[in-house]
């Protein structure tokens, strides 16, 4: 019995850049610092994060990282090379 509700699955895809930004965030980098790694301006990075938030239904970078890891978009933090952790995620 479906109670009159229609259920469907939505497939959300992420670009390589969006995955890289999520990975950098997972490793503790701030959005302004990410521009250095991906050769983009901060305003472009900011626009990319708005897209990421919308795709994941997230309100913060930390929430986006957690959701992306839960969905398998990015892998878990492995502690490579002494990279910083996102505050609050350990």
Q: Confirm if 34 and 46 have CB atoms less than 8 A apart.
A: no
Average pLDDT over residues 52-62: 95
Which domains are present in the chain?
16-77 (1.10.10.10)
Give the separation between CA 78 and CA 90, rounded to whole angstroms: 10
Q: Which spans in 1-90 are helix H? A: 16-26, 31-38, 42-56, 61-71
Confidence class for position 59, pLDDT limits 50, 70, 90: very high
Instruction: Provide the pLDDT for residue 23.
Output: 95
Closest CA to 56 of 90, 8, 14: 14
Whether 19 has a pLDDT exceeding 50, the answer reads yes
Confidence class for position 88, pLDDT limits 50, 70, 90: very low
């Amino acid at each position: 019995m479906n109670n009159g509700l229609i259920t469907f699955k939505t497939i959300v895809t992420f670009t390589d850049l969006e995955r890289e930004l999520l990975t950098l965030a997972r490793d503790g980098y701030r959005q302004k610092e990410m521009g250095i790694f991906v050769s983009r301006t901060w305003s472009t990075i900011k626009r990319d994060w708005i897209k990421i938030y919308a795709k994941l239904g997230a309100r913060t970078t930390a929430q986006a990282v957690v959701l992306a890891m839960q969905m398998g978009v990015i892998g878990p933090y492995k502690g490579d090379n002494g990279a910083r952790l996102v505050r609050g995620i350990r």
